[in-house]
């Protein structure tokens, strides 16, 4: 607990921090052009719990799809150890310095889930490694597709990934008289870049409907700014229909069978994006079936959207962990670095294995197949396509 004076000092520092973040955003160059690189380095970061098992499987499938490029030295896989909760606690850092240095030598990263400590856990309450990585590598767009063809669902979420309630999530404080405060941040620069990415994606992929989701009627300064800047970008794309929704009614409309088929692309602040993408993934079969791309101008990271499932490891079931989410993330990775043909193959194989043929099922225990069996099934399916 701190007094008002100290709170004011801290607040001033937080504004300064955000100001330098804005300067850094302005100073950034353009997106990496992967086609101009001699070699693309893919960092593979296992993470905690079942992370190493599922990540290893995804790497096997990726190596299978990119075997020619790996042999020709155009792609290199680089294993990065040390992003474990034990190591992070030993260094008392969300990302240990040596791990961060290794991550920064890669172009893209495939990451398994990492344990996020919270008060009351056996771990000290350090910042989430996910959130830290998104901030450190400035991965400002969290892109999460959800598709259920039989229900007419074809959604792509553009969740702002470095601002909102997350950017200062570990910097809140309690002042005297039992008053706790957290902060949410929206910057002009940060909003324009996510809005542009969402609209460019919609435009290039002939998806003619973008929905902006906020709570601008209540959270007036930050959500109000997010909404008006997105609308400003929308005006540059007259062929795309734009509508805006409040997060509460949008959450309801996703379960409205008559309306939800109309939605295509969503752009929304960090916390709303976090919540609604779990809801959306549930229609597709749960968070275990959805992948997530974290995109910035220099770096990109691809991850499963579920947690590290430490109980599965404790109960000796880690080798039955479902790799589908990280495999979906691998589709996004392939497409991002310009290997669209391989991305399409992996996506088609996953659709077949997960929804159509279903010759093997993965249940998370020995009632289903192992992670490795499922990886083999996916690779066999790719070969048979």
Smaller CB separation from ligand IPM, 84 or 128: 128
List the Cα angle 226/297/189 in 5-degree steps: 25
Dihedral (Cα; 104, 108, 160, 183), 10-degree rounding = -30
41 CB-near residues (< 8 Å, 6+ apart)? 76, 78, 105, 106, 107, 108
Find the shortest distance in angstroms from Cβ 159 to ligand IPM. Answer: 8
Q: Which stretch binds Mg ion (CB under 5 A): 75-83, 123-131, 268-276, 367-375?
A: 268-276
44, with CB counted inside 10 A (0-12, 13-18, 19+), is buried
Of 36, 30, 55, 14, the residue nearest 321 (C-alpha):
55
Structure tokens given for 360:
């093997």
- Which of ligand IPM, Mg ion, none binds 186 (CB below 5-8 Å, type-dependent)? none
Of 71, 73, 82, 70, the residue nearest 44 (C-alpha):
82
Which position among 160, 163, 274, 347 is part of the footprint of Mg ion (CB under 5 A)?
A: 274
Smaller CB separation from ligand IPM, 128 or 167: 128
Q: H or E segment at 263?
A: none
Find the shortest distance in angstroms from Cβ 277 to ligand IPM. Answer: 7
Find the shortest distance in angstroms from Cβ 49 to ligand IPM. Answer: 12
Of 118, 135, 120, 126, the residue nearest 84 (C-alpha):
126
- Which of ligand IPM, Mg ion, none binds 211 (CB below 5-8 Å, type-dependent)? none
Give the interface with ligand IPM as residue ranges (CB under 6 A). 116, 128, 130-131, 274, 305
Smaller CB separation from ligand IPM, 302 or 339: 302
Positions in 151-210 near Mg ion (CB under 5 A): none
What span, in angstroms and rounded, lies between the C-alpha atoms of 372 and 360? 12
What is the CB neighbour count within 10 angstroms for residue 68?
9
What span, in angstroms and rounded, lies between the C-alpha atoms of 90 and 137? 22
Half-sphere exposure of 209 (CA within 13 A, CB side): 11
Smaller CB separation from ligand IPM, 305 or 309: 305
Find the shortest distance in angstroms from Cβ 233 to ligand IPM. Answer: 24
Find the shortest distance in angstroms from Cβ 325 to ligand IPM. Answer: 11
Find the shortest distance in angstroms from Cβ 110 to ligand IPM. Answer: 15
- Which of Mg ion, ligand IPM, none binds 128 (CB below 5-8 Å, type-dependent)? ligand IPM
> Is residue 303 a contact residue for Mg ion (CB under 5 A)?
no
- Which of ligand IPM, Mg ion, none binds 116 (CB below 5-8 Å, type-dependent)? ligand IPM
Smaller CB separation from ligand IPM, 46 or 382: 46
Is 18 within 8 Å of 190 (Cβ atoms)?
Answer: no
Smaller CB separation from Mg ion, 91 or 275: 275
Number of residues located near Mg ion, criterion CB under 5 A: 1
Find the shortest distance in angstroms from Cβ 274 to ligand IPM. Answer: 5
Residues near Mg ion (CB under 5 A) are: 274
């Amino acid at each position: 607990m701190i007094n008002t004076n100290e709170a004011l000092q801290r607040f001033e520092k937080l504004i300064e921090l955000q100001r330098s973040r804005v300067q850094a955003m302005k100073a950034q160059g353009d997106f990496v052009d992967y086609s101009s690189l001699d070699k693309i380095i893919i960092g593979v970061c296992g993470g905690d719990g079942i992370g190493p098992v599922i990540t290893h499987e995804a790497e096997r499938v990726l190596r299978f799809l990119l075997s020619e490029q790996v042999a020709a030295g155009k792609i290199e896989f680089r294993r990065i150890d040390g992003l474990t909760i034990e190591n992070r606690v030993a260094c008392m850092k969300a990302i240990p310095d040596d791990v961060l240095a290794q991550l920064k030598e890669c172009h893209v990263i495939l990451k398994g889930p990492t344990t996020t400590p919270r008060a009351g856990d056996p771990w000290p309450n350090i910042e989430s490694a996910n959130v830290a990585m998104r901030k450190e590598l400035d991965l400002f767009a969290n892109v999460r597709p959800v598709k259920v063809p039989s229900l007419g669902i074809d959604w792509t979420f553009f969740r702002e990934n470095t601002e909102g309630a997350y950017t200062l999530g570990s910097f809140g404080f309690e002042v005297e008289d039992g008053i706790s405060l957290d902060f949410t941040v929206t910057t002009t620069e940060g909003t324009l870049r996510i809005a542009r990415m969402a609209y460019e994606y919609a435009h290039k992929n002939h998806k003619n409907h973008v929905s902006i989701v906020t709570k601008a009627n209540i959270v007036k300064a930050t959500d109000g700014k997010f909404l008006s800047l997105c609308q400003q970008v929308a005006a540059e794309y007259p062929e795309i229909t734009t509508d805006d929704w409040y997060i509460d009614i949008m959450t309801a409309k996703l379960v409205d069978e008559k309306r939800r088929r109309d939605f295509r692309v969503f752009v929304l602040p960090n916390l709303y994006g976090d919540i609604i993408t779990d809801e959306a993934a549930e229609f597709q079969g749960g968070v275990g079936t959805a992948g997530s791309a974290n995109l910035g101008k220099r770096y990109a990271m691809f991850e499963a959207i579920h947690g590290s499932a430490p109980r599965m490891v404790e109960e000796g079931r880690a080798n039955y962990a479902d790799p589908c989410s990280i495999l979906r993330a691998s589709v996004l990775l392939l497409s991002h670095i310009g290997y669209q043909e391989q991305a399409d193959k992996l996506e088609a194989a996953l659709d077949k294995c997960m929804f159509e043929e279903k010759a093997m099922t993965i249940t998370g225990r020995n009632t289903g197949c192992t992670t490795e069996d499922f990886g083999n099934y996916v690779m066999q399916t790719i070969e048979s396509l």
